[in-house]
Structure 1
Amino acid sequence: MAAVLDASPAVAAPEPPRDCPLCPRLVAFRDHWREQEPSWHNAPVPSFGPVDGRLLIVGLAPGLRGANRTGRPFTGDYAGELLYSTLITFGFATGTFEARPDDSLRLVDARLTNAVRCVPPENKPTTDEIRTCRPFFSATIGLLPSLSAIVALGKIAHDQVLAAHGERLSHHKFAHGAVHRLGDLVLFDSYHCSRYNTNTGVLTTEMFHAVFAKVRAHIDALG
């Protein structure tokens, strides 16, 4: 990749440790839910998918009763139903999505991660929490040698991608369906596939599929 990632020498791995102490508010929230639901994952949610994939899909953060419960991105809540069915439709996944990490679903040429790895209260990470998690995010990108496309699900994911690459946010405005060139990478924007966005009509299945049709065409053109 041509872009220089904003990585921190203090972070040696792309995934935070299970008891990552860096964000006090998120630690307290995590500890609360460990007491309430000891069988849940209740820890930073690791990325999912092959590291040699050419596509990275970036979400916001784990959902409380979704990935925070199951330990796999977009697994256990509505957002995963739309996302994974779309990935299967466009050839970026195989198998059957059953909303549990031991189902038969496998990603193909794609990897999933989140801008923030721990579940935040009300699904709203603070600016400091987003910034604190950025070195892990940068390390995740650096782990992918064949990466050529990123899909940002929502503005926070979009901004995290730009910040990790040292790009000015004002030069790349977030908009559903927008496409941005970041050196050797292409960034595709989409509204987040949350139940709120789909229930209110902000995002339709057709709109979401249109983004991934562009992504599929880009990947296929690489040969």
Structure 2
Amino acid sequence: MSRRPVLDFWYEFSSTYSYLAAARIEALAEGAEVEVRWRPFLLGPIFAAQGWTTAPFNLYPARGRYMWRDIERQAARLGLPLVRPDPFPQNGLLAARVALSLREQGATPAFTRAVFRAEFAEGRAIADPAVILALLRELGLDAPGVMAAAQGAAVKARLRAETEEARTRGLFGAPTLLTADGEMFWGNDRLEEALAWAAGERPGGMR
């Protein structure tokens, strides 16, 4: 049996559009016969390198107003509940560490979706360790053990390395989708195109 092509799904837990993409990527990837690698990272250091102190949606109010209205439309189209977290953006550091610590167990996708639901469907504070512990328990995982691993030096270093890799590969927002040949697609609305490219389809004879 031949190995499926791989698509790297880079996402940030504070990202509204990552919420949408995480909710639908697995079914679409299965249909395209593409394997997805879930790659949580932090946008904060990437924004800081550009001199930004917060998300561009906060820095540019008109852009932020458009984004929230667009997210409302897209969530409604997908049948996803949506609430605006307060504050926004949420601090996704702990969630990202936990997601990385679950990679070897294969639980990163389920945990990621649970965090996004808690944040954008229920308005819960994902920086609160109690919220993360509750989500881990709901998934039937060893919540104290996972939290301890997530706070360990190895996972902290791994998240720093993942974020640095994202920076060096030119990521500037989330979600970003990278194919094995290095083609970059940014945004939930490019998910289908990214999967098609990963599967070998090329528009108009492109290579």
TM-score, normalization by structure 1: 0.26
Larger RCO (CA under 8 A, 6+ residues apart): 2
TM-score, normalization by structure 2: 0.28
Which structure: greater helix fraction? 2
